[in-house]
Amino acid sequence: MSGQASSAERGYNRKWPHAYFRACLALDYMLPDRAKPIFERIFADYRRVRNKTKLKIIDVGCSYGVNAALLRTDLDLDDLYAAYLDPSGSLSSRQEIEHRTFFHNQGLRADIQFVGVDPSFRAVRYALDLGLLEAGVTADLETRDLTVKERSALADADILISTGCVGYATEATFARVYEASATSRPWVVAFAMHPFSYDDIAAALRAFSLQTEPLERFAQRQRRFSTSTERQAILKAMAKLGMEDRLERTTGYIYASCYISAPPGEAL
Ligand SMILES: C[S@@+](CC[C@H](N)C(=O)[O-])C[C@H]1O[C@@H](n2cnc3c(N)ncnc32)[C@H](O)[C@@H]1O
């Protein structure tokens, strides 16, 4: 998300994820849900090309492990909204054992491991405690380098993914994360909400000899405009950048473009 609300109001860094899911639902945030089949398709391509079964995924801006929860189970985002926000939902309590049991009972896939990168350390802690993430890096990589320990958590990655985070995380973060895992030549699949540009991130990844392509047919709804003022501001910024805004104008939703970066000739 992005907009007028503060990070605290959006519930980014709480001990429990309820405020985050409430803020997301209020804006009909749906990107991780829409991104899930695209990630799954790209994971399948990657497995075929690299002849691998077990994947190590790095999620930049992982928050409470939302992508891990969706991609390691058959759940969709509405299941999570209901589980967290319905008063009788399985995740409505603040009892760690209940949350852990819920995800355990979903049969978390073991062939996809997640390492999260997000300065919201309480959110990352939650996802680690529940077993959604294998490891977490809670640094703000916009402002500092990785430590040796953090670098080793990111080594040997297969694919970097990101939803709802480009803008907060820029080429500085992506370059630092990629550099720590560059030996295994991971692919990068990221969604960037309009009007955020991906050009600087693509340029940073080019320095690692990755080729970036926009996957135009995979652009997805991220969330509703929060206010008419935000709608005006985003449409104005998109017009200034010459971005196609037909979907935003018609639907009342902000879209995110999808980009894939990989060694030349490897992906799609
Ligand atoms: C809208 S949430 C998206 C969370 C999750 N990926 C999803 O789609 O539900 C944005 C996330 O970006 C994180 N974030 C903010 N600054 C960041 C940075 N410099 N590096 C990585 N993540 C950052 C926030 O803490 C928050 O968890």
Distance 241 CA to ligand 1 centre (A): 24
Distance 265 CA to ligand 1 centre (A): 30
Return the half-sphere exposure (C-beta side, CA atoms, 13 A cut-off) of residue 120: 25
Distance 165 CA to ligand 1 centre (A): 5
Domain CATH for 114: 3.40.50.150
Task: Give yes or no for residue 4 having a pLDDT over 60.
Answer: no
pLDDT level of residue 268 (50, 70, 90 thresholds): low
- In this structure, is residue 55 part of a structural domain? yes
Per-residue pLDDT tens over the stretch 178-222? 999 999 999 999 999 999 999 999 999 999 999 999 999 999 999
Contact call for residues 161 and 261 (beta carbons, < 8 A) = no
- Report whether residue 164 contacts ligand 1, using a CB cutoff of 6 Å: yes
Residue ranges making up the domain that contains 251: 18-262
Per-residue pLDDT tens over the stretch 99-146? 999 999 999 999 999 999 999 999 999 999 999 999 999 999 999 999
Return the half-sphere exposure (C-beta side, CA atoms, 13 A cut-off) of residue 80: 26
Three-state DSSP at 15 gives: coil
Q: What is the pLDDT of residue 230?
A: 97
Nearest-angstrom CA–CA distance, 112 and 110: 5
- Report whether residue 71 contacts ligand 1, using a CB cutoff of 6 Å: no
Contact call for residues 198 and 257 (beta carbons, < 8 A) = yes
- In this structure, is residue 151 part of a structural domain? yes
- Report whether residue 2 contacts ligand 1, using a CB cutoff of 6 Å: no
Q: Mean pLDDT over all residues of the chain?
A: 96
Q: What is the pLDDT of residue 5?
A: 73
Mean pLDDT, residues 53-81: 98
- Report whether residue 65 contacts ligand 1, using a CB cutoff of 6 Å: no
- Report whether residue 193 contacts ligand 1, using a CB cutoff of 6 Å: no
List, in order, residues 6 or more apart from 249 with CB less than 8 Å away. 235
- In this structure, is residue 214 part of a structural domain? yes
In the chain, the number of structural domains is 1
